[in-house]
Structure 1
Amino acid sequence: MEERRPDPDLLLAEVRQEEDRLREGQLKIFFGAAPGVGKTYAMLGVAQQKLAEGIDIVAGVVETHGRKETETLLEGLQIIPRRSVEYRGAVLSEFDIDSALKRKPAIILVDELAHTNAPGSRHKKRWQDIYELLGAGISVYTTVNVQHLESLNDVVSNITGITVRETIPDFLLERADEIELVDLPPDDLLQRLRDGKVYVPELASKAREFFFRKGNLLALRELALRRTAQRVDEQMQRYREVKGVREVWPAAEKLLVCVGPNPQSIRLIRAAKRMAAGLSAEWITVYVEAPHKVKPSESDLRQLAEHMRLAESLGAETVTLSGPKASEEILAYARDRNVTKIVIGKPTHPRWKDKLFGSMLDELVRGSGDIEVYVISGDTGEPVKGIIAKSLRSDSGAKEWLFSLAVVVACSGLALLMKPYFEIVDLAMVYLLGVVIAAIKTERGPSLFAAFLSVAAFDFIFIPPYYTFAVSNVRYFITFIVMFMVAFIISRLTHRIRDQVYAARQREKRTTAMYNLSRKFVHERGIEKLCAIAIRHISEVLPSHVVVLVPADRGKLTIPATGQETFALDEKELSVAQWTFDHRQRAGLGTDTLSGARALYIPMVVASKAVGVIGILPRSSHGFFDQEQIHVLESLVNQVALAIDRAMISLEAQEALLKAETETLRNTLLSSVSHDLRTPLASITGAITTLLQKDIALDIDQRQELLQTIYEEAEHLNQIIRNVLDMTRLEAGAIKVKKVWLPIEEIIGAVLSRLDERLMGRQVRTILPEDLPLISFDPLLIEQVLVNLLDNAIKYTPPETPIELSAHVKDKEIIVEIADRGAGIPTGEEEKIFDKFVRGTATGGGIGLGLTICRAIIQAHGGRIKAENRRDGGAVFSFSLPLGDQPPISVP
């Protein structure tokens, strides 16, 4: 086995991954095609072996489904009790992750990876529980069927006609340290079903009718086998990359077919498809873009794009490579992808071209090593003359030919000036310099013309006999040949470097655009902003007009208000975009589907669902997109899709959170109101019942006491309802602040009079300076604030303690304070007590909206409200109101 030096970056990544895995638990998945193949049985069998080896292994969740042979394997294993969850009147048993974390065994068995936990559980899915266990260093054995993989959900639905609701993301299989395939032939599985070893008899008959048909089981078995083989192949590829293995390991067949713009490449694609189908192998279609070759014409690029689309439609992976030598690029890529067979067209050009320029077929065969090379008739039909004409074709205009002529004339003039002082060899260098300049500034035709003309001018002017093309010495012929070859090689190398620089700049521009796109997406969340960024960046990468469409109600596409320039969509274009969204396939310009559209439409697909469509209209009326541009577009579209999907998920999460908060608020409000309404209503009902009973003799004082109770509880009830209504109107914006200029002491006096009965027997001290200025406020609202604050002081302080009410001016504000000598405010809750439904510990308290209303009213006035404890005991509530400008003169 030949190995090259391992990639240091891959080795470092492998070391880091191993370190992470050592800190985390190991995940082993028992993978099957359908229920009943024996996954749980196989898992318990391995568990018994581990138990016999003395390893600490416990059962977290094991679903035996009443199978006695499976229950037998549970003997000797410690079983973690499940927790009970009530849901819609039923009691469900779920995995107790907290008990598992507390027990912390070496290995835990958690059956049915795709299970959805009951509402109220810590995680929505069981695989999330398993991830937490792995993070805690606990290894997990689990089971899952192939139909639960998210990427295969649509495929399974098409095969069985049943949509599987419980799915797991595919990255769980990538995370698994080991996957054990539990396989059972369909006939044996059906026999187990008939024997009652899969489901109970009443369920077994329904299962045979729908899911457990032999065709379904055969297809699911193939999916499971292929997915397991894919996983093993990925592991082998990873090993080869890390270890630097150059040799091809033909563990599985993989084909690579080389194509180009030649129409006969279609035969190669179809032949490769037949070969891949016969071998049940993956296949790749490759085109090599060599910078030093003649730039393909527009018709060639169109033909190449058609070939790539045909290959994709037949199931191939299409790749465009770039490099100076096609054979080296193909072989390097084939070894990296572990390709076992290369398919290439048979050459029909003259043999002298292979002798002169080299043969790609010969280079592939000689450098292929263990890779088999198949040569198929394909490149036929093009005459040699056409090839030569094409190789000499130049897209350059007359200006470039004139430029080459001018360069040679300038070099001749310069050489004539240098002739008296330099040797003839030095004069030849001047012409070579001119060839380099012409190659940098012109295309291949003019630069080749400059090389030929330089040799002719050198002979005509500087080789005797002068000013003729005759040569007196035969040795000058060798000089001319060498000079022309050197000039020709310099021209080719210069063009190759220039084209490589151009290609590198193009790749750098596109890479930079993709990097900038992803960087911009990190800082934005709104769908409109994300769409605007996508339109701007895609337009920069490709000369085109771009439109982004996202689904609205019932999946109908709409154009977000991005503020970016897009192209107009008529009914025809919208229908093409809608078809693209519904079928998740490209359509429109340059495709085989709805090709009459003006633009190309690419779906934005994330996790088997479409989140929108991007339309791209070339700026040129005859424009189109080649295969490389299509790949770049798909990469950009994928990034846009991920960003929009993230934004949609964020919106859905916000809506879900809002609904949850609204539901919590409603429940809290109903609970609080029902509780606080029940108390005064019970008191009122009791007092009235006593008054109505004729067999009970009441004196005047007793009747007066009962009436007083009815009055006080009715007032309490009225205050609760008023607070709820005020809070509702404040949040809805129904209450407007109507300010007037008044002295604050006037409102304070009115509030004290209003609460005179409740303050009876209570010492109230007021400190109001005589020079308090007029202030602009809403008297009704500020009166409500003072009533609520004084009401709190009355309810939450002992009757014998005093209450102090003061006001003073500070920093262009008037500050009103209400201080008491109660128990004070619990430390750390000075801000929290202004939140909704936060209540004190006093009996007979309200529903916790009084202070919330105070804060809303004061903030509406542009002021501040706060609460703090007094140093010598008690609490002080204060609010400030801005003084504002001077009151009008007309105010008395």
Structure 2
Amino acid sequence: METTSEPSVQGTEKQYQSTDVERGRLKIFFGACPGVGKTWAMLQAVRRQRDGGVDVAIGEIDTHGSETLRRLIEGLPALPPKHVHHHERMLRAFDIDGALAARPRLIAVDELACANVPGGRHAKRWQDVDELLAAGIDVYATLDVAQLESLGDTVSNMIGLRVRESVPDRFFFDAADVVLIDLPPDDLLARLLSGSARLTAAAESARSYLVRANLLALRELALRCVADRANADVHGQRLKGRLRTAGATRERILVGIRAEASHERLIHEGARLAQHLRAEWIVVHVDQSADARDPHGRETLLALANLADSLGAEFANLPGEDVAATLVGYAHERSATRLVLGSDPPRARWRALSAACWGARIAERVVRAHPRLGLVVVGTADVHAAPAKAQAQRTAETPLNGLILAVIACAFTTLIASVLLHFFATPNVVMLFMLNVVLLSLRLGRLAGAWAALLSVGSFDFFFVEPRFSFAVSDTQYLFTFVLMLTVALVTSQLASRLRYKARVATAGERRATAVARVARDLSSAIRPAQIAAVCRQTIAPLFDAQVALVLPDPKETTLRDASDEFVDTSVAQWTYDHAEAAGAGTQTLSGTRALYLPLKGPICTRGVLAICAQQGELSNNADDRRLLDACCVLIALALERTHFIEIAQDTQVRMEGERLRNALLAAVSHDLKTPLTAIRGLAETLEQVGDLPDTERTAVSRSIRLQTEELHRLVTNLLDLARMQSEGVRLNKEWHAFGEIAGSALARLGTTLAAHRVRTELPADLPLIEIDAIAFERVLVNLIDNAVKYTPPGSTIQIRARAVGDTMHLFIEDDGPGLPNVNPELIFEAFTRGVRESAISGVGLGLALCRTIVDAHEGAIDVERRLPQGTRFEIRLPLGAPPVIEEERAS
């Protein structure tokens, strides 16, 4: 029988990080028990795939001495195993790295639930298979019904034997194909007797359970699992195309647990129910004040939370004293449709009350408060538990220090009361004992408070009630006083202890909220990965008393950079980054390392890995600390996501600016380069075609060619100079010069360009020398004068003036033309910006930008303003220094 499934809604694999590799397909050969022929059927299927041209490989198969299996394996390519040295023995293990490197299309792996050799990457073989599937490799595997995680307790109660190895149910329900290998019990027993069926070492040691009655029960259970899977397929096909509507009305299951090992079965039953109904499910624990004093219970609760997480459930730890009200309120909040509760049968008289509270009374109150909520009560008795041993362990953990302090406090209170009795009446002294009970309850808890109440009543009777120093009571009215005093003391102790617990819960919640707020505040101002790493070291590390390292990927986001911290194992961090799953200490993957490695999952992909290593000892296994650490990881991932997009935005802005400049350059230069080239070409053709051109006209044509060439040369020179200065910076060769010489050289270079304009210079005779780069500054004057020539009509006057004021030299280039356009004067100093955008005047707007660059390099300033009554004035201010002393001056 073969079934094929779409991935289930509830049990889908949470492969977070996006990848281009399509996930491989898993085919499970499923049977009721060992010996039915799962491995034989799997090898036959592998051979058919090999004959069809598929690249197959044998991963890990143990024939257990079966000649039939050995012949089937012959001729099939096999992956070489890895040999691991463990306890002075060389053990054979499946080489996951070799399989990933070889990358066949199909790998056959036997015994999916088998445990790996200690020291490997994963503790379980199903984790190796999960990694192969994530890499896009198809896998054939075998599985027994007793090895499904949620059926462990059912099979244990059915056959009286606990199955140690298990596989999460999601592998069964999410597998692409499930092939049921069925064999009637009588035929299986006959095969075992004849020796044609071989068992594993573990199954051989427990062969006593392979009797006809147990085989029939296991066969029925296997058939039921396959039928449930087929029913889920039909349900999925029915909902296909209407998932939005179905998702809004699907069931949600709450599983209420206590911090007891027997409630593992409750979680397993909840997982089965959720798989059957294709529903979301949440495991809920109500944290009462009594739970705070039980360290063993906290460890058990953490184990139950990890079990729920491995089975695909959400875990919620809710503080509250009223269990029923807390469960009902949470059911309303999460829109739950069913509630699963456990009811332990009382194993002793003192347990009867607890069983009643969780079994009948809680159930009844839930039904009354939420009639629409479906209630399922499951018996959670553990046939393998050892009550006496557990009780002895709990007794050994009794807080004796608190009881001893209560005795000392009561003795001290009795001593004070004996003194006060001479001044106050006996009823007033009784209040002193009541105060003692309240203080002890607040400080030491409920047990110490109840013990103090008993001691207070006994002390009051023994020392202060006649006859003294005896527990006998002469006045029977005191009996009522003792009962009332004891009742009030116990109730007060209970209330004080509950208040103390609530204060502790509130303090812990405030601590977590404050820590998350502080981390969020510090990360909000971080805009670079280095700043985020600093926040991890300065803010997060003290919260957990641990070393913290942030391991980030390279620019290609495929390989992590080497971390500078010594405790970071880069290979483990790389595995965590690739698979987006936690690894290291406290997990089932690469648990031999000291540090815990957590993936930083952003909204789009994994942004890095957070490595955390305890300063001393091991990391805390407290569930609250782990949730706080997970919250910090979310905040760090979001911060890294933000910095990633900041970098993208900055790069985009730079590219857009470069694109803008490129377009502006092409738009400006294409016209101004084409215009003189066209003119030069036309003039050259004139000289070529007209052979007997008069000398005057030939001279005019030659002059025009020279002017156009000079214009083109200035344009190209400005482009090259500006590009060089912006990329390499301005390199100046400063020397002491007279400004008049530089101005004369600039005017001489312009030559015929100034033929149609009048030029006046006003330079004082005592104008001091100035330390400048003569060639660069000559370029400034040429560009400013050429700009005045272009934007003034012929016959206009261009004036060059200079004067020294204090330690500054002021240079002016003025004209009496039309003046500046109605634009911001500062804009004309930007590259590719012109005062008049659409005009017949040649130029691309680089001359003034080049002038500002050169003047700034001289530590000067350049400005432009309107000149009254008309015209434009450019002013350059340059610092004056102390000129060198000439030898003749020194001699005189």
Superposed pair shares fold, TM > 0.5: yes
Partner-residue secondary structure (3-state), 1:799:
coil
CA distance in 2: counterparts of 1:560 and 1:537, whole angstroms: 23
- Alpha carbons 2:821, 2:835 under 8 Å: kept: no
Change beyond 3 A, Cα 1:870–1:449: same
CA distance in 1: counterparts of 2:806 and 2:364, whole angstroms: 90
What is the number of residues matched between the two proteins?
655
Deviation at 1:836, TM superposition (A): 1.5
More divergent stretch after superposition (367-376 vs 473-482): 473-482
Alignment gaps of 5+ in structure 2: 1-132, 138-231
Matched, 1:832 2:849: no
Deviation at 1:285, TM superposition (A): 0.9
Matched-pair identity in %: 32
- Alpha carbons 1:256, 1:341 under 8 Å: kept: yes
Matched, 1:765 2:763: no
Q: Which residue of 1 aligns with 2:780?
A: 785
CA distance in 2: counterparts of 1:217 and 1:704, whole angstroms: 98
CA distance in 1: counterparts of 2:540 and 2:818, whole angstroms: 65
Matched, 1:720 2:715: yes
The Cα offsets for residues 272-314 of structure 1, whole Å up to 9 and x where unpaired, read as 11111222222111122223434342x5444433322332232
Deviation at 1:409, TM superposition (A): 2.9
Letter in 1 for 2:309: E
Q: Which residue of 2 aligns with 1:798?
A: 793
Matches within 5 A, 1:50-89: none
Q: Which residue of 2 aligns with 1:210?
A: none
CA distance in 2: counterparts of 1:367 and 1:589, whole angstroms: 40
Match of 1:867 among 857, 864, 868: 864
CA distance in 2: counterparts of 1:467 and 1:420, whole angstroms: 18
Letter in 2 for 1:367: V
Q: Which residue of 2 aligns with 1:201?
A: none
Change beyond 3 A, Cα 1:447–1:778: farther
Q: Which residue of 2 aligns with 1:668?
A: 664
Q: Which residue of 1 aligns with 2:594?
A: 598
Partner-residue secondary structure (3-state), 1:293:
helix
Instruction: Indicate the structure (1 or 2) with the bigger Cα radius of gyration.
Output: 2
Match of 2:435 among 433, 436, 443: 433
- Alpha carbons 1:556, 1:578 under 8 Å: kept: no
Deviation at 1:811, TM superposition (A): 7.1
Deviation at 1:216, TM superposition (A): 13
Match of 2:244 among 224, 227, 239: 227
Q: Which residue of 1 aligns with 2:493?
A: 491
Q: Which residue of 1 aligns with 2:509?
A: 507
Deviation at 1:434, TM superposition (A): 1.8
Deviation at 1:675, TM superposition (A): 2.9
Q: Which residue of 2 aligns with 1:657?
A: 653
Match of 1:607 among 603, 618, 634: 603
Q: Which residue of 1 aligns with 2:267?
A: 269
Q: Which residue of 2 aligns with 1:849?
A: 846
TM-score by length of 2: 0.67
- Alpha carbons 2:860, 2:877 under 8 Å: kept: yes
Matched, 1:409 2:411: yes
Q: Which residue of 1 aligns with 2:357?
A: 359
Deviation at 1:726, TM superposition (A): 0.7
Partner-residue secondary structure (3-state), 1:468:
coil
CA distance in 2: counterparts of 1:657 and 1:589, whole angstroms: 44
Q: Which residue of 1 aligns with 2:143?
A: none
CA distance in 2: counterparts of 1:828 and 1:261, whole angstroms: 78
CA distance in 2: counterparts of 1:221 and 1:710, whole angstroms: 85
Matches within 5 A, 1:594-743: 594-693=590-689, 695-743=690-738
CA distance in 1: counterparts of 2:417 and 2:233, whole angstroms: 84
Letter in 2 for 1:425: P
More contact order relative to length (CA 8 Å, sep ≥ 6): 2
Match of 1:817 among 794, 812, 819: 812
Matches within 5 A, 1:189-228: 222=239, 224-228=241-245
Letter in 1 for 2:847: G
Letter in 1 for 2:313: A
More divergent stretch after superposition (373-382 vs 458-467): 373-382
Matched, 1:254 2:252: yes
Change beyond 3 A, Cα 1:261–1:353: closer
Deviation at 1:256, TM superposition (A): 0.5
Partner-residue secondary structure (3-state), 1:555:
coil
CA distance in 1: counterparts of 2:649 and 2:860, whole angstroms: 34
Change beyond 3 A, Cα 1:405–1:669: same
Partner-residue secondary structure (3-state), 2:864:
strand
The Cα offsets for residues 234-265 of structure 1, whole Å up to 9 and x where unpaired, read as xxxxxxxxxxxxxxxxx542210022442222
- Alpha carbons 1:394, 1:443 under 8 Å: kept: no
Match of 1:537 among 536, 539, 542: 539
The Cα offsets for residues 374-419 of structure 1, whole Å up to 9 and x where unpaired, read as 1212253656666766666657574x55543442233122212210
Match of 2:322 among 322, 325, 347: 325
Change beyond 3 A, Cα 1:549–1:557: farther
Letter in 2 for 1:363: I
- Alpha carbons 1:557, 1:612 under 8 Å: kept: no
Q: Which residue of 1 aligns with 2:174?
A: none
- Alpha carbons 2:344, 2:355 under 8 Å: kept: no
Letter in 2 for 1:461: F
CA distance in 1: counterparts of 2:455 and 2:573, whole angstroms: 56
The Cα offsets for residues 69-114 of structure 1, whole Å up to 9 and x where unpaired, read as xxxxxxxxxxxxxxxxxxxxxxxxxxxxxxxxxxxxxxxxxxxxxx
CA distance in 1: counterparts of 2:404 and 2:670, whole angstroms: 96
Q: Which residue of 1 aligns with 2:584?
A: 588
Match of 2:520 among 503, 518, 521: 518
Match of 2:878 among 874, 877, 881: 881
CA distance in 2: counterparts of 1:295 and 1:223, whole angstroms: 50
The Cα offsets for residues 452-487 of structure 1, whole Å up to 9 and x where unpaired, read as 332332223212222333433344344333333333
- Alpha carbons 1:839, 1:845 under 8 Å: kept: no
- Alpha carbons 2:863, 2:875 under 8 Å: kept: yes
More divergent stretch after superposition (518-527 vs 577-586): 518-527
Matches within 5 A, 1:99-110: none
Deviation at 1:691, TM superposition (A): 2.6
